[in-house]
């Protein structure tokens, strides 16, 4: 059936801010869907609170609302826009849950809106635990013995029947939030309690634990004619027990015979047919390793993280096809874009293997509990394609940016055998490396299988790598050895290090095409991966399609992690679009399967490979580009600049020397001196002794960070020598070889500027001011555009400094500068001659296409020619407030206290005519439940006690009941603010923990001198707040801003919704 005639205007709900379990994959899916809908001539209305996405770009939809994803807001948008349809399955769990609520309430029917993608019954059958079980039973698909319960007692009762261990899975939570494995009743009570609270419908599933079974996934698509196909199978390296988002995954499944494979494939098809999903669906199975016995673990009746992976792994555009099915097309009508001749109704055949490797944030959260379980913890992932598992694995491990180029992890080498074996029994993020270390030490595959239940196939492959490395280290490095190692995916530099010898030759990588059909049909997909064969399909492709255009390579930003998120993908994609518009051939290199940049039709060509010097060299050799762009791919891309420049490759825009000048302390100081710009005093140190001396010279508190910074990685404020010693110990442990910077910490207002410079003139689209004072990482601060409190003199100074720095650093393109305003003086904190986290949002609010302009400047255009005056751009009609979003509930033992180290995973934007309204929107979008009554629990450090008085007073006047620990309560009561005294966590009960558990508290304001260590009182208290979903404010400024918003008396319903395409 072709396009349904009754569909003209479609509302698409995005997935909101990036959190663990719901990341960039939904920007990719949403973008594909919006494009597919627009191609059909449909009017698309989009709502998403995440400003860093490409889907919220003007090119993607006709009407765009960057508004909170709440039921009321969506209803208002539906009333304003009057769409005839709502697409429910492309905005992750968030979009699906909202759609379902709207349908169930009857709101959609009442407003004549059709639900596309899945009907409420389908969603109910797939997502409600009991309904799902009943449905599976009906079609004879086995489920794990389980029971849906709504009380802790019932869960304990059922566990007695099926026996421990049991798994607890809360209904309707993201990435399995609140779930866990309980080995005994005590643990079960704990987990069940938490799970029940986190489930929006207070429901958990208690099921028999089948840890150790193989975990296999299928991506299935079905259309209205009941045509069904499976796009891809995937097998987890880690058996059942580790969330699939936290597991290394290989596609296609490799340890299944055709019997087992077809058994599960048929099951997946039976399931999607019974659920009547029209579109994409993900089926997860547990397969007993020693029999045909299997169980259905979970079904997601929507596009998911796995479907993004499957799309990239096969070249089959699942989201696009799902969107077309939703509007009426059938699989046999949709052309397979890859071949241009065949249809979407087929199953891709792979002639390579794909390895997905998760990216965790434990390098930032040194005290976080690293164990993996049913709750996902990874923030992002990389994918690698190879002709063997070893090759793909080596590529993946390079792409993940852990500072390693093989499976050898230095810190594990130091462990004793006993320590290592003990670690293997706990499952954490380093398990694959631990297994590797154990294999190196001669532990047998059988033994490791027994401990970890990882399939022997994977273990033997790792053993192959161990043996190869031994072979390399043993005797002369022959050509045979070298070529074998290359085929195994080893870099020349790795081979040289392991063998201690120079490589006897150099083999350049060649490229093969991802074509969905294993070469059966001629394809023109410009999607390539490297191998070490002879035939170079990329080269053939380039020659065949040569139109005489100049080629430009854009390097992407790798995996999504804290500090380097989806914003950089936004920038990379925009750069590519502009390059195409300018008539260049735009080539993308990236390794993140969740992103728009790695969609094969975003650029003219896509190389899906690691972004290391050597990997990139081969791409350059094949492409012979006119130039390369590194300033949009975050630190991942900018790190390549020196090497590329040394290779003689033309760097477009700001040159390598400028990057070095901004990062090299001494050179940067010279520039500042020359320009007469002050910065907080500081020193560069290498050892703990030097650090202590430097801090004493500067005077505490001091700010400490490594010289190469990514998202404030490992940055702290040290108040004492003890802090410095602790810090230096951590930083040397995580093998950072660069010097450490120590600066005087200035507690002022933080201001951020993104500027565009053509070498002569400069443009500042806007100045952003942070609500939290310096000391809280800029990525974790609430950022306000335009600046609200700065005087004209200060603004002028900032403009002046920005100009001087941009010109002196010879910036061509984007530059991001962070300032601190302290005692009415402006100081520079940091200059990054590249794009930044704030570029997408400032572009959207000011209407200045920053990346597009920057790209044009790289090719010699001037700001004047493009119609921009030099200087600060006039202020927009709107105030925009960017509010960070955290994933603390997924990361146990992480202190939620904000500091110089970035902790947020995503962000939301509030746009309104006034600051208060914009902030209100931003907070609501970020998930703050802005209740106007209840209890406020306050416990602040001594230095904040004076400031908290006024804030507490505001809450008190609004009628909130105040509670505080002794010190804070004393100060407040002395200042005539009635406050209840509460015992600290370490004091006898009833104490703060009991209070938080009582449900009386709605807001917590907590600051402490020191944090991080999970054992501290304040950290425990803040963790408890997270677990109880209590709004927790850990900076005095955030608390004040929140109080101000509450005081306006306005709610989200009072604030106008804004279609940003009209800005």
Partner 1 sequence: MALFNKSEKAYILLADGTVLTGQSFGAKGTVIGEVVFTTGMTGYQETLTDPSYYGQIVVQTFPLIGNYGVNREDYESTKSYVSGYIVREWCNAPSNFRCEGNIDDFLKEQNIIGIHSIDTRSLTRKIREYGVMNGAITTEDVFAKKDELLKLIKAYTIKDAVHTVTVPEKCEYKAENSKYKVVLIDLGYKRNIREELLKRGCDVVVVPDRTTAEEIKAIAPDGIMLSNGPGDPSENTEVIKNVAEIAKLGIPIFGICMGHQIMALAHGAKTEKLKYGHRGANQPVIDLALDKTFVTTQNHGYAVLNDSVDTSIAEVSHINANDKTCEGVRYKNEKAFTVQFHPEAHGGPLDTSYLFDEFVQLMEEK
The site for partner 1 (CB under 8 A) is made up of: 225-230, 252-259, 261-262, 265-266, 269, 289-291, 331-332, 341-343, 345-353, 387-389, 445, 455-457, 460, 463-464, 467-468, 471, 484, 487-488, 512, 517-522, 533-535
**Closer to partner 1 by Cβ: residue 130 or 388:** 388
Measured distance CA(20)–CA(245) in Å, rounded? 9
How many C-alpha atoms does 554 have within 13 Å on its Cβ side?
33
Measured distance CA(1029)–CA(935) in Å, rounded? 14
Beta carbon of residue 405, minimum distance to partner 1 (angstroms, whole number): 19
**Closer to partner 1 by Cβ: residue 534 or 666:** 534
Measured distance CA(336)–CA(346) in Å, rounded? 9
**Closer to partner 1 by Cβ: residue 256 or 909:** 256
**Closer to partner 1 by Cβ: residue 467 or 1051:** 467
Output the six-digit token pair for 1: 């059936």
DSSP state of 612: S
**341-353 per-residue burial string, b: 16 or more CB within 10 A, e: under 16:** ebebbbebebebb
**Closer to partner 1 by Cβ: residue 345 or 839:** 345
Which residue, among 923, 870, 841, has the nearest Cα to 764 in the 3D structure?
Answer: 870
Beta carbon of residue 298, minimum distance to partner 1 (angstroms, whole number): 23
C-beta of residue 715 within 8 angstroms of C-beta of residue 683: no
Beta-carbon neighbour count of residue 635 at 10 Å? 19
Beta carbon of residue 612, minimum distance to partner 1 (angstroms, whole number): 22
Measured distance CA(439)–CA(842) in Å, rounded? 51
Which residue, among 359, 363, 245, 372, has the nearest Cα to 902 in the 3D structure?
Answer: 363
C-beta of residue 90 within 8 angstroms of C-beta of residue 319: yes
Cis peptide before 630 (omega within 30 of 0): no
Measured distance CA(955)–CA(932) in Å, rounded? 9
Which residue, among 850, 863, 872, has the nearest Cα to 799 in the 3D structure?
Answer: 872
Which residue, among 766, 772, 770, has the nearest Cα to 783 in the 3D structure?
Answer: 770
Beta carbon of residue 492, minimum distance to partner 1 (angstroms, whole number): 17
**Closer to partner 1 by Cβ: residue 454 or 880:** 454
How many C-alpha atoms does 791 have within 13 Å on its Cβ side?
9
The CA-CA-CA angle for residues 985, 986, 991, to 5°, reads 40
Interacting residues of 562 by C-beta distance below 8 A, sequence separation 6+:
361, 364, 379, 711, 779, 902, 903, 904, 905
Beta carbon of residue 468, minimum distance to partner 1 (angstroms, whole number): 6
C-beta of residue 826 within 8 angstroms of C-beta of residue 819: yes
Output the six-digit token pair for 608: 């899906």
Which residue, among 4, 1, 48, has the nearest Cα to 22 in the 3D structure?
Answer: 48
Beta strands in 436-575 (DSSP E): 510-513, 527-531, 551-555
Tell me which long-range contacts 783-787 makes (C-beta under 8 A, separation of at least 24).
783/752, 783/838, 783/881, 783/882, 784/879, 784/880, 784/881, 784/882, 784/915, 784/918, 784/919, 785/841, 785/842, 785/845, 785/846, 785/876, 785/879, 785/880, 785/881, 785/882, 786/875, 786/876, 786/879, 787/751
Beta carbon of residue 349, minimum distance to partner 1 (angstroms, whole number): 4
Beta carbon of residue 334, minimum distance to partner 1 (angstroms, whole number): 11
Beta carbon of residue 228, minimum distance to partner 1 (angstroms, whole number): 8
Beta carbon of residue 477, minimum distance to partner 1 (angstroms, whole number): 15
Measured distance CA(1035)–CA(899) in Å, rounded? 9
C-beta of residue 570 within 8 angstroms of C-beta of residue 634: no
Beta carbon of residue 467, minimum distance to partner 1 (angstroms, whole number): 7
**Closer to partner 1 by Cβ: residue 450 or 534:** 534
Mapped onto helix, strand or coil, the DSSP state of residue 910 is strand
Beta carbon of residue 937, minimum distance to partner 1 (angstroms, whole number): 55
Beta carbon of residue 535, minimum distance to partner 1 (angstroms, whole number): 4
**Closer to partner 1 by Cβ: residue 332 or 669:** 332
Beta carbon of residue 243, minimum distance to partner 1 (angstroms, whole number): 23
**Closer to partner 1 by Cβ: residue 70 or 342:** 342
Beta carbon of residue 443, minimum distance to partner 1 (angstroms, whole number): 16
**Closer to partner 1 by Cβ: residue 258 or 792:** 258
Beta carbon of residue 322, minimum distance to partner 1 (angstroms, whole number): 17
Which residue, among 102, 107, 111, 56, has the nearest Cα to 82 in the 3D structure?
Answer: 111
Mapped onto helix, strand or coil, the DSSP state of residue 541 is helix
**Closer to partner 1 by Cβ: residue 107 or 471:** 471
**Closer to partner 1 by Cβ: residue 389 or 568:** 389
**Closer to partner 1 by Cβ: residue 291 or 416:** 291
Beta carbon of residue 1025, minimum distance to partner 1 (angstroms, whole number): 47
Q: How far lies 543's CA from each of 536, 537, 539, in Å?
A: 11, 10, 6
Output the six-digit token pair for 501: 């010898």
**Closer to partner 1 by Cβ: residue 387 or 658:** 387
Output the six-digit token pair for 986: 């370490």
**Closer to partner 1 by Cβ: residue 395 or 770:** 395
Beta carbon of residue 1033, minimum distance to partner 1 (angstroms, whole number): 52
Beta carbon of residue 250, minimum distance to partner 1 (angstroms, whole number): 10
Q: Which residues pair with 364 in a beta bridge?
A: none
**Closer to partner 1 by Cβ: residue 317 or 348:** 348
Sole residue written with tokens 């918003």: 1045
**Closer to partner 1 by Cβ: residue 289 or 847:** 289
Interacting residues of 389 by C-beta distance below 8 A, sequence separation 6+:
250, 254, 353, 355, 458, 461
Measured distance CA(458)–CA(472) in Å, rounded? 21
Q: How far lies 342's CA from each of 252, 520, 946, in Å?
A: 22, 11, 71
Measured distance CA(311)–CA(32) in Å, rounded? 11
Measured distance CA(951)–CA(947) in Å, rounded? 7
**Closer to partner 1 by Cβ: residue 103 or 256:** 256
Measured distance CA(545)–CA(277) in Å, rounded? 40
């Amino acid at each position: 059936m072709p396009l349904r005639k009754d569909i003209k205007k479609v509302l698409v709900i995005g997935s909101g801010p990036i959190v663990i379990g719901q990341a960039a994959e939904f920007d990719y899916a949403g973008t594909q869907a919006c494009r597919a809908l627009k191609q059909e001539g449909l009017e698309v209305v989009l709502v998403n609170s995440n400003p860093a996405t490409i889907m919220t770009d003007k090119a993607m939809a006709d009407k765009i609302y960057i508004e909170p994803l709440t039921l009321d807001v969506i209803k208002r948008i539906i009333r304003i826009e009057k769409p005839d349809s709502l697409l429910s399955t492309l905005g992750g769990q968030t979009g699906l849950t909202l759609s379902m609520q709207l349908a169930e309430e009857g709101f959609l029917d009442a407003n004549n809106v059709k639900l596309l993608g899945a009907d409420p019954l389908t969603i109910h059958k797939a997502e409600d635990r009991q309904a799902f079980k009943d449905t599976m039973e009906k079609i004879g698909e086995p489920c794990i013995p389980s029971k849906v319960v709504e009380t802790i007692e019932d869960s304990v009762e059922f566990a007695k029947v099926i026996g421990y261990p049991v798994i607890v899975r809360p209904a309707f939570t993201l990435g399995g939030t609140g779930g866990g494995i309980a080995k005994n009743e005590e643990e079960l009570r704990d987990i069940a309690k938490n799970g029940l609270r986190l489930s929006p419908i207070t429901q958990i599933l208690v099921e028999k634990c089948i840890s150790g079974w193989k975990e296999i996934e299928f991506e299935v698509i079905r259309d209205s004619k009941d045509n069904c196909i499976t796009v891809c199978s995937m097998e987890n390296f880690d058996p059942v027990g580790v969330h699939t988002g936290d597991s290394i995954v290989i596609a296609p499944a490799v340890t299944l015979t055709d019997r087992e494979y077809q058994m599960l494939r048929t099951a997946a098809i039976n399931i999607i047919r019974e659920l009547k999903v029209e579109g994409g669906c993900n089926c997860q199975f547990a397969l007993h390793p020693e029999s045909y016995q299997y169980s259905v673990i979970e079904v997601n009746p929507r596009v998911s993280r796995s479907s993004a992976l499957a799309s990239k792994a096969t070249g089959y555009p699942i989201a696009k096809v799902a969107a077309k099915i939703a509007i009426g097309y059938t699989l046999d009508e949709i052309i397979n874009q890859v071949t241009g001749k065949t249809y979407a109704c087929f199953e891709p055949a792979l002639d390579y293997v794909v390895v997905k490797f998760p990216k965790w944030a434990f390098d930032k959260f040194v005290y976080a509990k690293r164990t993996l379980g049913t709750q996902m913890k990874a923030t992002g992932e990389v994918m690698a394609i190879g002709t063997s598992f070893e090759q793909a694995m080596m590529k993946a491990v390079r792409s993940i940016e852990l500072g390693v180029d093989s499976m050898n992890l230095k810190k594990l080498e130091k462990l004793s055998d006993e320590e290592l074996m003990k670690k293997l029994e706990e499952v954490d993020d380093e398990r694959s490396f631990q297994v590797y270390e154990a294999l190196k030490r001669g532990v047998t595959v059988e033994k490791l299988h027994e401990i970890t239940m990882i399939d022997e196939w994977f273990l033997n492959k790792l053993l192959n790598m161990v043996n190869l490395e031994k072979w390399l280290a043993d005797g002369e490095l022959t050509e045979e050895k070298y070529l074998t190692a290359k085929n195994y995916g080893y870099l020349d530099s790795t081979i040289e290090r392991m063998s201690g010898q120079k490589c006897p030759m150099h083999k350049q990588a060649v490229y093969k095409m991802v074509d969905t059909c294993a070469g059966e049909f001629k394809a023109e997909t410009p999607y390539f991966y490297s191998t070490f064969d002879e035939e170079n399909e990329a080269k053939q492709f380039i020659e065949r399609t040569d139109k005489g255009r100049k080629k430009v390579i854009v390097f992407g930003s790798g995996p999504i992690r804290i500090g380097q998120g989806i914003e950089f993908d936004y920038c990379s994609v925009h750069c590519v679009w502009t390059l195409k518009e300018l008539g260049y051939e735009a080539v993308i290199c990236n390794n993140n399967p969740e992103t728009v940049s790695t969609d094969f039709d975003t650029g003219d060509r896509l190389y899906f490979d690691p972004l290391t010097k050597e990997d990139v060299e081969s791409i350059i050799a094949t492409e012979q580009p006119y130039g390369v762009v590194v300033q949009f791919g975050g630190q991942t891309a900018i790190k390549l600049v020196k090497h590329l420049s040394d290779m003689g490759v033309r760097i477009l825009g700001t040159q390598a020397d400028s990057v070095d000048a901004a990062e090299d302390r001494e050179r940067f100081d010279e520039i500042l001196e020359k320009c007469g710009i002050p910065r907080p005093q500081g020193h560069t140190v290498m050892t703990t002794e030097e650090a202590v001396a430097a801090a004493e010279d500067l005077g505490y508190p001091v700010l400490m960070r490594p010289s190469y910074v990514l998202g404030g990685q490992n940055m702290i404020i040290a108040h004492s020598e003890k802090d410095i010693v602790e810090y230096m110990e951590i930083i040397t442990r995580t093998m950072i070889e660069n010097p450490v910077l120590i600066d005087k910490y200035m507690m002022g207002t933080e201001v951020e500027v993104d500027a565009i410079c053509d070498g002569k003139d400069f443009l500042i689209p806007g100045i952003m001011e942070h609500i939290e004072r310096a000391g809280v990482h800029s990525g974790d601060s609430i950022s306000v555009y335009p600046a609200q409190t700065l005087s004209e003199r200060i603004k002028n100074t900032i403009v002046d400094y920005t100009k001087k720095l941009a010109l002196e650093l010879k910036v061509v393109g984007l530059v991001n500068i962070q300032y601190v305003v302290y005692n009415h003086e402006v100081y520079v904190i940091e200059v990054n001659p590249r794009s930044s986290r704030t570029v997408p949002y400032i572009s959207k609010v000011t209407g200045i296409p920053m990346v597009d302009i920057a790209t044009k400047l790289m090719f010699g255009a001037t700001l004047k020619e493009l119609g921009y005056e030099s200087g600060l751009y006039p202020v927009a009609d709107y105030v925009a407030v960017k509010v960070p979003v955290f994933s603390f509930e997924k990361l146990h033992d992480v202190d939620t206290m904000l500091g110089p180290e970035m902790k947020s995973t995503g962000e939301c934007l509030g746009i309104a005519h006034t600051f208060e309204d914009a902030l209100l929107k931003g907070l609501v979008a970020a998930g703050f439940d802005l209740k106007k009554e209840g209890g406020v629990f306050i416990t602040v450090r001594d230095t904040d006690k004076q400031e908290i008085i006024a804030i507490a007073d505001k809450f008190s006047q609004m009628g909130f009941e105040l509670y505080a620990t002794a010190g804070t309560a004393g100060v407040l009561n002395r200042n005539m603010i009635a406050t209840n005294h509460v015992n600290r966590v370490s004091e006898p009960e009833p104490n703060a923990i009991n209070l938080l558990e009582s449900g009386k508290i709605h807001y917590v304001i907590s600051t402490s001198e020191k944090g991080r260590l999970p054992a501290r009182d304040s950290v425990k208290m803040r963790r408890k707040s997270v677990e109880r979903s209590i709004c927790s404010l850990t900076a005095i400024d955030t608390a004040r801003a929140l109080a101000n918003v509450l005081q306006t008396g306005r709610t989200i319903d009072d604030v106008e919704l804004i279609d940003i395409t009209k800005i």
